[in-house]
């Protein structure tokens, strides 16, 4: 049985119900920890559910940031230092990752408060999360303000990547399920992933093959 909602039904939803509904309607979310360091040297880590691929050549990714909510230290640090790391979240730290969304003060490091371990790559200013098996570093490339709702699109160039060898296939494909990276849903939901497989390049009139 389907439940249907018209535009006026959506507009009439109680505010928190609508936030939960619309956030989860868009589907599974790629959920990561973003590590930054302030110009004063304070380490920061925050959970984001809005990472997306923009292009492979140049290697670019985007995140959507709401300027008025919790991860505002992250935004400021990215803009001031140009450096950030993106760390996928294995199952064993998903509660620690969720806890980074609490409103810690400027003086507290979310790393210390949530039991995550900062570590460094030579030449990269921002800390990464040592517990992550799939992580990469970005240099800030462009900020696009989305006037339609006041959010900000941050585009970064991928300048370093570190992946577990178990997850890396021969042709460059990274299988996130092999290292138990989790999937997000809505604002507070989490899923495990298990591999179905990969399919061949689709052509008109040809059967698909499992790769």
Return the residues of window 129-188 that contact a second copy according to CB under 8 A: 133-134, 136, 141-142, 144, 146, 148-149, 151, 153, 155, 158-166, 168, 171-177, 181-183, 185-186, 188
Which of 71, 74, 88, 128 touches a second copy by CB under 8 A?
Answer: 88
Closest approach, Cβ 165 to a second copy, in A, equals 5
Query: Binding residue for a second copy (CB under 8 A) from 12, 55, 69, 115?
Result: 55
Closest CA to 158 of 38, 41, 32: 32
**Is 171 in a helix, a strand, or coil?**
coil
Q: Which is nearer to a second copy, 79 or 192 (CB)?
A: 192
Among 162, 192, 165, residue whose Cα is nearest residue 91: 192
Please name the helix (run of DSSP H) or strand (run of DSSP E) that holds residue 75, with its range, or none. Answer: helix 72-81
- Binding segment (CB under 8 A) for a second copy, from list 35-43, 74-82, 97-105: 97-105
Q: Cβ contacts of residue 202 below 8 Å, gap of 6+?
A: 208
Cβ closest to a second copy, residue 39 vs residue 199: 199
Establish if 190 lies at the interface with a second copy (CB under 8 A).
yes
Question: Considering Cα of 137, then 143, then 144, then 147, what sign does the dihedral take?
Answer: positive
- Bond preceding residue 18 cis, omega within 30 of 0: no
Q: Which of 38, 42, 60, 82 binds a second copy (CB under 8 A)?
A: 60
Answer yes or no whether residue 50 interacts with a second copy by CB under 8 A: yes
Q: What does the chain come to in residues?
A: 211
Helix, strand or coil, per DSSP, at residue 17 = helix
Structure tokens at 70: 């919790």
* Range in contact with a second copy (rule: CB under 8 A) among 36-44, 77-85, 198-206: 198-206
Binding of residue 23 to a second copy (CB under 8 A): yes
Segment interacting with a second copy, rule: CB under 8 A, options 15-23, 36-44, 73-81: 15-23
């Amino acid at each position: 049985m389907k439940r249907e909602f018209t535009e006026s039904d959506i507009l009439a939803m109680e505010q928190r119900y609508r936030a939960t509904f619309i956030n989860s309607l868009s589907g599974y979310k790629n959920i990561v920890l973003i590590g930054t360091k302030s110009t004063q040297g304070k380490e920061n880590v925050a959970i984001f559910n809005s990472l997306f691929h923009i292009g492979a050549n140049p290697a670019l990714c985007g995140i959507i940031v709401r300027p008025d909510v919790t991860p505002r230290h992250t935004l400021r640090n990215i803009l001031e230092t140009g450096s950030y790391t993106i760390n996928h979240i294995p199952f064993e730290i998903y509660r620690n990752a969720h806890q980074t969304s609490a409103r810690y003060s400027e003086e507290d490091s979310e790393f210390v408060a949530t039991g995550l371990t900062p570590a460094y790559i030579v030449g990269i200013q921002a800390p990464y999360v040592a517990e992550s098996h799939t992580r990469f570093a970005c240099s800030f490339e462009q900020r696009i303000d989305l006037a339609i709702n006041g959010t900000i699109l941050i585009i970064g160039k991928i300048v370093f990547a570190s992946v577990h060898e178990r997850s890396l296939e021969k042709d460059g494909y990274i299988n996130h399920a092999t290292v138990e990276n989790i999937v997000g849903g809505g604002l507070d939901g989490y899923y495990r992933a298990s591999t179905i497989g990969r399919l061949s390049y689709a052509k008109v009139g040809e059967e698909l093959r499992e790769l």
